[in-house]
Each structure stands twice: as structure tokens, then as C-alpha cells.
Structure 1
Amino acid sequence: MSASDSSPSLYAAREPVFPRRVSGSFRRLKWILMAVTLGIYYVTPWLRWDRGPGMPDQAVLVDLANRRFFFFMIEIWPHEFYFVAGLLIMAGLGLFLFTAALGRVWCGYACPQTVWTDLFILVERWVEGDRNARLRLWHQKTWDLRKLRLRLTKWGLWLLIGLATGGAWVFYFADAPTLMRDLVTGQAHPVAYTTMAILTATTFLFGGFAREQICIYACPWPRIQAAMMDENTLTVSYREWRGEPRGKLRRAEEGVQRQGDCIDCMACVNVCPMGIDIRDGQQLACITCALCIDACNDTMDKIGKPRDLIGYLALKDEAVERAGGHPRQIWRHIFRPRTMVYTLLWAGIGIGLVVALFLRSPFDVSVAPVRNPLFVTLSDGAIRNTYEIRLRNKQAEPRDFHLSADGLPGVIVTAEGAEAATVRVPADATGEVRLYLVAPAGSEGATADRSDIAIWIEDMTSRDRVETDTVFHGRGN
């Protein structure tokens, strides 16, 4: 079979993208968000928070060894994972909300792949120059000393950023100053070094080389976002009815076909980090970063044409603008039934989590009746039941807890190794105690086969009380 008869490749070769520098309101917004998000990521592990003796003083810490999560004054235990689940649901709803209102605005401004790629491009531009200089270097086939120096400098800075990224991540799982010292002296756990190496490599490859390929091929969100959008969603669009027919700028002459506002300067293509032409319409690769709007507005200002040849536009307004009318106000696109439903769901879950956070008990208790045997008959005819009590003290100081029972008249409550049924649990720890309930001979509890009772646990410091329902087994008639 000849080469001409062979099947075409299913995969297109990657065309390198070298975005040109651009200035404007959307570019400034991206710089601000990049600085804020990277600052939060790198600085947060170093914030301190005093929780008292014996407790970690890192403001945000995922303590895997003790199975807890600390966030400033909030402490989440394993059985409270519903808080984490609620936050993840809120994040998903927030993504739906922003996509329904403004398309892939998350991808264009706050996605980690976008943020780190922006940072890597900034370093690349600083080392190698703007778009034309980088293109010349790319097409240069021979590796002279200059090209080698520029590439090694750029790759070295990329590796430092990747190392800082991996290092910041592991600091969330251990005390940052201590781990930093152990990493430098070679005393850290191998898991820390392995994690840093993996994150350094992935950051280096994804931000430096894969870039737009991650957004197009690896990320599932471009294929999901269509379900979140409708005709009222504001997206970056080219007003082709105003821009066409495009062509080089020339004076209007009699008998010459009217020329559109687009002068085919390619500025919108040259600044796009995805390497697409927004004039071809909506595309899966578009991340709605709006840099093409800044580039086009700059060109329109120079040639004296109205701005927003490329701008945010809803599909519902396209026919109105084509007819020469005015589009709906932006707030009407954002505040509509669909986005309001997302907002109410998001706010409802957030309020529910806050209420649950403030209503949760400062200690947890579990009661398990000992079933072998179900009861013991004492020498005086009284009936004794035994219970295993687990008390989790969430406070940063030791607490005394008093145990009592309700539901059986005359029942006697004692705790093994404790006086007056009061036990002490160390700070931030779980204590176990064996509780005995004794029903006098001839009493209701002793003669009944089974009685419902409630065991009460009271924090002697805060006076908070928790009730747990269980049963008392008697001899039966």
C-alpha cells in the first residue's frame, strides 16, 4: 500500500503557541488574580495560629497522622467529613454558577493550570523576549551558545517554580518550619521528597510544555460546560456582522465594497494562550480569558473605530445587535432563574454548614452495651448492666465529664476507676471508661425484660450535655 493510500492520523501535531504581550483591563485582572491565588497558595502554610500547648500552631494543616484538619479556629475530625463534602459540593455549584453566567471564566482566570501557565509564560517572555523573539528562537535549527543559555535559564527558573509548588503542597501536611528544616538537612520522610519530586515534574511539564494541551485533551470541563450554558450566558464573541468583510485598513472610496471594522491584524490570535482565532466562532479550546478583547480594543482605539468588536456577548442578544438594537443589560443575563437557583443552592449549603459548625458539640460520645453477659445478678438480687463509653474531648485542655442515667427510678451509676461517676479525658484525646448501671432488686428495671434509658454526659467546665439512648436488660418475669 502506498503512503497516499494510508489512513490519515487521528491526532494533529501540536503547534507551539507563543502569546504576545498585551495590556488592558482583562489582562490586569488576570495579573491581580494570579498574584492573589499564588500568594494564598505559597503563604498559607506559614501562617501561625495559637491553639494552646500540645496542639499544632499552623493555621491551615491537614494532620494525617492524627486524622484531623485544622483551619484557623476550626478543627474537623474524621467523623465530621461531611463538612469537607459540603465544601466540595459548594465548589461544584459555584463552578456551575460562574459557567452559567460567564462561560469558562474559571478556566480563564483561576484554574491552577491557567495560573501556573501564565506564570511560566511570564518567565519565558522575560528570558527570551516577546512573541517574535521566541518564534525566531523556536525556528532556529542550530543550537548556539545563546540559544542554549536562554533555554537553560528558562528551564532552570521553571524548575525552581515547580520545586516551590511541590514544597508548598507538602507544607500543608506538616509543620512548615519543621518540615523545611528537615527537607534541607535531608531528615524528612521519603514520602515528602517523593511528593515534591512528582509535583515539581508535573508543574514543569504541564506549565512549560503541555499548556493548552491539558485544557483541550486532559481536562473534562470543556466537554461538560455546554450543559451549564444557555442563550443568556455571556461569552467572548466576535461581532462578525460588524467586522466583516475584513481587510487591510484603507480609505473608503466610491464604488468600493464597504469594509468591516476588522482589519485582519491578527492581534486577537497572537495574544491567545490557546492559539485559536475567536473570529471562527465559539470553540472548545476557548478558555474565556478575554485577552483577545484587550488586543482588539487596543487596535480599534488606534484606527478610530468603536470598541468591543470582540467582547462579551450572549447568544440571545446577537439577533438584537444585528438588527441595530441595544443588548440587554449585563445584570439581566447574570441574575436570571437558572443562576438564582444555583445561588440559592450554594448559599443554602453554606448556611447549613455554618449552622452545623456552631451547633456541633465540643465533645463526642458513643455508648455500647456489653452483651456477654447481658446482665449480672448481684448477691442482693440487684441487676447490673455494663456499658463501654468512648468520650472524645475536642478541647485544648483536659476536661471532667460526669455520667448519669435517666429513665429508671433508683438506678445507681458508677464508673470503673472513677469517683462519683466523673471521669477526666486529656486534651484533644479520646478516653474509654466502663460504666455500670445497677437496678435494685424488685425495681422496675430489675423485673422488666428490657427498659429504654438515656445516658447523659455533662462537661463539668462548660456544662454542655449530650444524651445517648440505650437499653437496660433485666431478668424479666
Structure 2
Amino acid sequence: MPERIPAIQIDPKTAGAALHADSRREHETTDLYERRKKIYVKKVLGFFQRIRTFTLYFFMGAYFLTCWISIDGQQLVHFDLPERQFHIFGATFWPQDFALLAAMLIIAAFGLFFVTTLFGRVWCGYTCPQTVWTFIFIWLEEKFEGSRNARMKLDQQPWTREKVVKKGLTHASWLLVALATGLTFVGYFYPVRELVPDFFTLSVDSGWAYFWIAFFTVATYLNAGWLREQVCIYMCPYARFQSVMFDQDTLTVAYDPVRGEPRSGRKKSLDHKAVGLGDCIDCGMCVQVCPTGIDIRDGLQYECIGCAKCIDACDNIMDRMGYDPGLIRYATERELNGKQSRLIRARTIGYGLALTAMLAFFAYFIMARADLALDVLRDRGSLYKTAPSGFIENAYLLQVSNKTDVERRFRVEVSGDIDFQISGKTSITVPPAAVASLPVAVEVDPETIRQSTSELEFALVSDETGDAAVRTQSTFLGPIAR
């Protein structure tokens, strides 16, 4: 006989409600160009919000204060575009060092990929400038307009004097932060100690400085004040290609449906497990605190920036109900399915090796990078000429790049297989972070020349130490002695 399947008991009321909900969802339509619905983010406290507060203070402090720090009169970080010099933490870089910039960008890319495969969008949630500035603007909004419910009521009210004052203070504070952001950004390219007083006295000597200050002020005000989650959802490409780097072992903000379902409201005193309910009380706090307005209980979504506000909000509710925390937590898909997560896997190894290789290349480039460079340009206007002394003479132009912040003095020496001599000036002084040129003429007795092309070497000998600081090879052209 075939095995009998026990009948499933269905509550008619529950079934009717479910069918009604399914029918309603089936007939719901969304306009492709639907107007944006403002998201009112509820304030929440918790462990992950304390971490974000720390990172916010750290990165904001670094951004706003670094350009004001000077060492020996030189701004700690200054990108001097007119002089084509980039001063970074006491070192001066030149356009010839742009390979370092390319290496830094590649390191940042592989670092982001590596971290994403392990911890998801932790960059977006804690360190992304868009997130940092958005949270600052939300904090200012709360200070002047009140809590989430108060802000919702204020927006629904007609324009009154109170509403004008509150909205005016909010937007004024946003503009002040945006202006400070724009001034600071330009301060990394224009000496900030001159920029700030010159800006407020309208004496900045470049109209471009005003343009870029205005540009970044407006951009910050719009992005953090008005666009907010739209930047993360529609404008940032990271939200789109992150899924390529995610797998079943990537740590993401996740809701545990096995533990939480079926969800329902209940009294704290109710033994919910005895009546077949999950831990989720369907309070909606996870949605109210989400800066992108999603419901994490619907599963992983590209709109999620991994900020963990829903984790702190849910943990607070679980604590009040006397339940264990972690209904919403950082977890992997494999963990939610009751399996063991794997930290080491093919893609993490690949990204890790690529990141290590680029870091090694960058470190080698920095260590091998010389603070002094000597370029020898031979006069191509003539092969050689005969000096009044009867010696064969070649003309050269020496270009010395001093990449340090101190003045350097050198004398020029030349050597080779035959007896080369320098006629004229042989000393050169190179200002800090500058390039100096010295034309020199090298002579040789024609009787000693054995071939039309001879190798010679120029050396810059330091006046302070007497040692050769840098050497460069060149060629000497002359007739073949008979």
C-alpha cells in the first residue's frame, strides 16, 4: 500500500490573509520614473555605531587637519600643480614618479576586492566618504528638526515660521559643512594657510580656486543632503559589480529566517516558541534605521551598504524581549544554511597574492627611488668641434632634480677610458624641490681618441660629504686619431 501523507491543518483566516497579500502584490505596479520617496532614518545606538563613530572622527579629523600640518614650513600634503611637485609626508614626488600613482590605484583596487570577498561592503558602511558625510548631515538634521517621527510630521505640516527656522538652520549647517569640505579639498592644491584668509577677503589670485571651492561645496551639499542613498544605489558602480565578488562565504549583513520566521507581534510574556512563532516580532525597526530604506529580511540586496544599523536596532529589540542577540548579524550564506564557512578559498588567495605583489612592487619602488636625479642632454646641434686649444670638444646640458626639501650643492666630475676634462663652471647649487641646469663642455686630446664614439660618466660630488651622489652615463663623439 502507498504511504499515506498526513493532512496539513490550515487556518482559514491565515490562509485568506495570505492569499489577499499575494493578490495585492501581484497587482502592484511601480512607475519606472517614480518620484523618490524621502527616507527618514531613525537614530540607533549600539556596538557597530560606536565603531562607525570612531572611524568617522578619525577620517574626518585626518581630512580636515592634515592640510594644516607643516614640517619645516612645507605643508604635510600639498599637490603643487603649477610647479608639478607633490609633497606627501615630507617626500617630494614629480611627474616622473607617476608610476607610483598607478601602483597606488591598483593596490587600492585589489585591496577593495580582497576585503569585499571576505567582509562584503564594509568599506561602504564605515569608511566611504559618501557614507561619512551623509551620516554627518543626518546628525545635523536630527539636531535641528528632531527625531524621525518629528521630521516626518514637520515635512507634512504647512510652511510656518517654526518650519522655516528649523529647515533654514538645517540647510545652513549643511552648507557650512559643505563649504568647509570644499575649502579643505582645494587646500590640498593651494596652500591652505593662504587660501582661507584670501578666500574670505576675496583676494585669491586664481579664479579656478573659487570655481573648485564652489563646485565641491555644491557637490557635497547635494550628495550628502539631498541625493544620499541615490548616490549609493544609482551612481556608485561598486553597488553593481559587488555581486561578482560575493560568494557563499562572504560575510554580509543577514537576517536569519530559520530563527526569525514566522514573524509576528506578541507580548513579552508570551512563550513564542510554544505557539510556533519565530524571534522576529515584526516591529520594523530594521527598516526604520536603514539609510537606503530596504528591508533586510527580504534577503541580500545590492542597496545594502553594510552599515549594520539594522543589527544594532534588532539587538536592542532582542534585549528588551529577553531573546538572544544576532537575529540580524554579520553572517555568510553558508553559515545561514547551517554549514561551516571557509575563510581561505580560491578568490581570496588570488586577490591576496595580487595585493601582496603590488605592495612589494610599491615598497621596492619607494626604497629604490632616488632623492636626486641627473639627466645629461648632449648638444645635438653638432657632433663635435675643435676648441682653440686644439682639443676636441662636446657640449652637454646637465639637469639636476633635487627631490628633497633642503638645498644641495655639488661639483661635476667626468671620467672615462680616456682623459676627459671639463672646461668652464663645474659647480651647481640646486634649491629644495627644484630642477637646476648647468651647461658644460668636455674636452679631450685628439691624440688619445681611438674610436669615433667613447663612453664617459658624469658624477655629482656632494660638497658636504665629498662622495658621488649620483652618476650618469653618456657618449663623447670625435674623429678617429690617425
Query: TM-score, normalising length from structure 2?
Result: 0.87
Q: Of 275, 281, 299, which aligns to 1:263?
A: 281
Amino acid at match of 1:430: V
Amino acid at match of 2:460: I
Correspondence list, 1:24-423, <5 A: 24-50=46-72, 56-140=73-157, 142-188=158-204, 189-249=206-266, 251-252=270-271, 258-320=276-338, 327-328=340-341, 333=343, 336=345, 338-378=347-387, 382-414=391-423, 416=424, 418=425, 421-423=426-428
1:243-273 C-alpha deviation (Å, 9 max, x unpaired): 111111253589x861111111101001100
Deviation at 1:370, TM superposition (A): 1.2
Deviation at 1:466, TM superposition (A): 2.0
Deviation at 1:357, TM superposition (A): 2.8
Query: Is residue 465 from structure 1 mapped to residue 474 from structure 2 by the alignment?
Result: no
Distance of aligned partners of 1:441 and 1:252 in 2 relative to their CA distance in 1, 3 Å threshold: closer
Distance of aligned partners of 1:107 and 1:464 in 2 relative to their CA distance in 1, 3 Å threshold: farther
Between 385-394 and 24-33, report the one with greater CA deviation.
Answer: 385-394
Deviation at 1:9, TM superposition (A): 4.2
Query: Contact (CA 8 Å) 1:380, 1:441: kept in 2 or not?
Result: no
* RMSD (Å) for aligned C-alpha atoms: 2.3
Counterparts of 1:100 and 1:281 in 2: how far apart (Å)? Answer: 18
Between 390-399 and 209-218, report the one with greater CA deviation.
Answer: 390-399
Specify the SS of the correspondent of 1:222.
Answer: helix
Deviation at 1:398, TM superposition (A): 3.6
Deviation at 1:8, TM superposition (A): 7.6
Counterparts of 1:69 and 1:391 in 2: how far apart (Å)? Answer: 18
Counterparts of 2:271 and 2:434 in 1: how far apart (Å)? Answer: 83
Query: Contact (CA 8 Å) 2:43, 2:148: kept in 1 or not?
Result: yes
> Which residue in the other structure is 2:16 paired with?
none
1:284-341 C-alpha deviation (Å, 9 max, x unpaired): 10001111111111111111222111111112223226xxxxx44xxx52x5553344
Query: Contact (CA 8 Å) 2:457, 2:473: kept in 1 or not?
Result: yes
Between 174-183 and 201-210, report the one with greater CA deviation.
Answer: 174-183
Counterparts of 1:206 and 1:318 in 2: how far apart (Å)? Answer: 35
Query: Contact (CA 8 Å) 1:390, 1:430: kept in 2 or not?
Result: yes
Specify the SS of the correspondent of 1:263.
Answer: coil
Counterparts of 1:212 and 1:166 in 2: how far apart (Å)? Answer: 21
Query: Contact (CA 8 Å) 2:91, 2:403: kept in 1 or not?
Result: no
Deviation at 1:397, TM superposition (A): 4.0
Specify the SS of the correspondent of 2:400.
Answer: strand
Counterparts of 2:452 and 2:427 in 1: how far apart (Å)? Answer: 29
Deviation at 1:41, TM superposition (A): 1.0
> Which residue in the other structure is 1:3 paired with?
none
Distance of aligned partners of 1:118 and 1:380 in 2 relative to their CA distance in 1, 3 Å threshold: closer
Between 117-126 and 430-439, report the one with greater CA deviation.
Answer: 430-439
Deviation at 1:375, TM superposition (A): 0.9
Query: Contact (CA 8 Å) 1:404, 1:456: kept in 2 or not?
Result: yes
Deviation at 1:167, TM superposition (A): 1.4
Counterparts of 1:380 and 1:175 in 2: how far apart (Å)? Answer: 53
Structure 2: which 5+ residue stretches go unaligned?
1-28
> Which residue in the other structure is 1:424 paired with?
429
How many residues align structurally?
A: 449
Specify the SS of the correspondent of 1:81.
Answer: helix
Deviation at 1:344, TM superposition (A): 4.3
Distance of aligned partners of 1:26 and 1:376 in 2 relative to their CA distance in 1, 3 Å threshold: same
1:356-415 C-alpha deviation (Å, 9 max, x unpaired): 33433222111111122101134665322111211123344443323233333222223x
Query: Contact (CA 8 Å) 2:407, 2:432: kept in 1 or not?
Result: yes
Query: Contact (CA 8 Å) 2:272, 2:279: kept in 1 or not?
Result: no
Structure 1: which 5+ residue stretches go unaligned?
1-6, 51-55, 322-326
Distance of aligned partners of 1:164 and 1:425 in 2 relative to their CA distance in 1, 3 Å threshold: closer
Distance of aligned partners of 1:396 and 1:115 in 2 relative to their CA distance in 1, 3 Å threshold: closer
Deviation at 1:194, TM superposition (A): 1.8
1:167-213 C-alpha deviation (Å, 9 max, x unpaired): 11122122222222111211113222222211111111111111000
Specify the SS of the correspondent of 1:430.
Answer: strand
Counterparts of 1:400 and 1:292 in 2: how far apart (Å)? Answer: 63
Specify the SS of the correspondent of 1:162.
Answer: helix
Amino acid at match of 2:475: V
Specify the SS of the correspondent of 2:252.
Answer: strand
1:77-135 C-alpha deviation (Å, 9 max, x unpaired): 22122222222222222211221111111111111110000001001111111111111
Distance of aligned partners of 1:424 and 1:163 in 2 relative to their CA distance in 1, 3 Å threshold: closer
Specify the SS of the correspondent of 2:435.
Answer: strand
Amino acid at match of 1:405: V
Counterparts of 1:355 and 1:47 in 2: how far apart (Å)? Answer: 28
Distance of aligned partners of 1:435 and 1:84 in 2 relative to their CA distance in 1, 3 Å threshold: same
Query: Is residue 452 from structure 1 mapped to residue 455 from structure 2 by the alignment?
Result: yes
Query: Contact (CA 8 Å) 1:62, 1:172: kept in 2 or not?
Result: yes
> Which residue in the other structure is 2:19 paired with?
none
Amino acid at match of 1:433: L
